[in-house]
Amino acid sequence: MSTMTDKTVAVVKGLIMDGVAKANSGHPGGAMSSADFATILFSEFLNTNPDDTDWFNRDRFVLAAGHESMLLYSLLHLKGLLSADDLKSFRQLGSLTPGHPEVDMTPGVEATSGPLGQGFAVSVGFAAAEAFLGDKLGSDVMDHYTYALSCDGDIQEPVALGAASLAGLWGLGKLIVYYDSNKIQLAGPCCKVDCTDHRKVFEGLCWQVLEVDGHNHDEIRKAIKDAQLETSKPTLIIGHTTMAKGAATMEGSHKTHGSPLSAEEITATKEKLGLPAEDFYVPEDVIAHFRSRDDGLRQNAAEWKAMVESKMSDAKFAEFWGHVTKPRAELSIDWPEFTPGETMATRKAWGACLNTVSASLPTLVGGSADLDPSNQTQVFRDTYGDFGVDGYGSRNLAFGVREFPMAAIMNGLQLHGGVMPFGATFLTFADYCRNAIRMSALQELPVLYVFTHDSFWVGEDGPTHQPIEHISSLRLIPDLIDLRPADANETAVCLDIALKQEKHPSTIFLTRQGLPVLDPAEYPALPEGPRKGAYVLKDCDGTPDLILIGSGSEVSLCLETAKLFKRKVRVVSMPSAKLFDDQPDSYKNEVLPPEVTARAAAEAGRTGLWYKYVGLNGVVLGLDHFGASAPGKVLSDKYGFTPENFARMIREKY
């Protein structure tokens, strides 16, 4: 062993091989090729607090190549955050070392890696949050780097390049991505699927690009230092490496990507690396070397804390710091009032709400995927400027036509903390965002997805732009709050619900077409009812003969339909199936009495999920086919979204 760093890297590789072998599952090859860079980064550069993994000004590290998880777990073990038993439980039920890093399970893990490409985009969100808060709080308070470890497959996912384009435009100089270019992926050599010159691509995306021998420690150190010195551009460090570097006979083999090394190969490799044959070998001198900076890191964190406390005498700083650190549930938001009887699209109600509350929520940041006027974010943009382009204190994130990167970047913003992110686009483009929305729910991130133009009422743009299955599809994602308000007043309540969430992401579905603004004086349950997901909007005397259930634009349809019956009719507004399903059975039976079996529901989308509420023999007015290009009113008549047709369907059944 020529140096302690060499010995530490060898020990890390031994842990990688042993962990994967014991689990008989995992990815040793890439983890071994990335080990030199990651070990140097963690032991020599990463600024953290050894006693507090949540210290706010810590450097962030995102393992975008999540399948290399045993590398990260080995480093966290050397930091003292995971035990040897944790490493031995790799990929086992209930362990702190799952197959891919999970942010809610393992201390020191900053983000759930998830599918390739998203970790890269998440790191852009981290860096954007740091830049914004650094502008607002001062660079002495927010002054940290975001590092990401990427790989060939990660870079191949288009979401990564979309996020990279924004990072370059925004000039995120404290974003440093290491690309472990071992030129091997699961199915074989990368040359069979990729001819990209990544230097040219990333330089074209306004990045600084550095190329190093990913196994040369001096070149790695110099590249990290040079990346830190470039303050106006993000940096991509391309580390040219060898798959499974150090392996006795399998260096460069794609077979090491997703399969354990054999016992014989591991034994021979340990001998080659100068390690004893014992499993999970970690000598004390390696631990001492790896933690040699800990006392200095502790002192740095303590000085930072004292500095922040000294700034609290500045009323302006203290007020903004309060917004950064206050729990969402404690927010007090004054929403606008709307005039009953007027007609207003719920997307315009959202815009009015955004414009009213944005000044009192200074950490609310976000924007639209190139649909600012349609999504009603244009006033927000004009008022607060475009982040990066107009300065780092600007609050509008102009995402361009990049829905998937937008959603993944929002996750990074929320994971960083201190900001409240939202992103907006048409509902039909939610499919582009879907996997990042799923990752929001999986990581318990209370981001807000604003989806306008929520039905065939989009009209003339035609079937490609008219969502049919999208709301039902999104309702299938666990722990995702669906919000489809019936009018402007419900829109405000739904936004209040979303912004006060601590753990759940929210999707709000908003209309293009105007809807009547309901009068709270006539419907007294309206101001608080949406918080329980569904509520009795208009009731009758005694037990109803018929219950009509609607969401969004179809609530007003239900109210009009009810007038066509001489029977006792109850109208239920259900802006959120998720929130209603979470209520106790006593409340659900109060809203939908089991003895009342004559039920009908209306929503301008797929019908299937509504039978849960109306029963298998109930009536559902919906749309189980694609739309057409025509004015919305024409389509409404064609598809039977009229009180007369809805009443006819109900009479034929009951």
Which string of DSSP letters, residue by residue, matches 155-173? HHSHHHHHHHHHHHHHT-T
Best CA proximity match to 177, nearest among 205, 218, 137: 205
Q: Which CATH architecture has domain 328-516?
A: 3-Layer(aba) Sandwich (3.40)
Tokens of 237: 């460090």
Q: Residue 178 pLDDT > 80, yes or no?
A: yes
Crossing angle of helices 118-137 and 158-170, rounded to 10°:
20
* Closest among 71, 63, 78 to 32, alpha carbons compared: 71
Buried b / exposed e along 222-239 (16+ C-beta atoms within 10 A): ebbeebeeeeebbbbbbb
Q: Distance (Å, rounded) from C-alpha 348 to C-alpha 353?
A: 9
Instruction: Verify whether residue 271 is a known catalytic residue.
Output: no
CA dist., res. 116 & res. 185, Å (int): 12
pLDDT tens profile 65-85: 999 999 999 999 999 999 999
Residue 1, pLDDT above cutoff 50: no
Fold of 4-296: Rossmann fold (3.40.50)
- Please state, in angstroms and as integers, the Cα–Cα distance from residue 116 to each residue in 121, 314, 331, 408, following that order: 10, 44, 35, 11
Tens-place pLDDT, residues 444-473: 999 999 999 999 999 999 999 999 999 999
Which one from 68, 102, 130, 403 is the annotated catalytic residue?
403
**Please, what CATH class does the domain formed by 532-653 belong to?**
alpha beta
The tokens for 261 are 């090394």
CA–CA distance, 395 with 387 (Å, rounded to integer): 6
3-state secondary structure of 266: helix
Closest CA to 77 of 52, 49, 43, 45: 43
Averaged pLDDT of the chain: 97
pLDDT digits (tens, 9 = 90+) for 126-165: 999 999 999 999 999 999 999 999 999 999 999 999 999 9
Query: What is the rounded distance in angstroms from the CA atom of residue 548 to the CA atom of residue 169?
Result: 50
500-541 per-position pLDDT tens digit: 999 999 999 999 999 999 999 999 999 999 999 999 999 999
On the question of pLDDT at 347 being above 50, the answer is yes
Domain ranges in the chain are: 4-296, 328-516, 532-653
131: its two tokens? 């830049």
The DSSP H or E segment spanning 496 is helix 488-499
The structure's pTM equals: 0.98
CA nearest neighbour of 428 among 400, 457, 388, 399: 457
Does this chain's domain 4-296 share its CATH topology with 328-516?
A: yes
Provide Rg for the chain, Cα atoms.
27
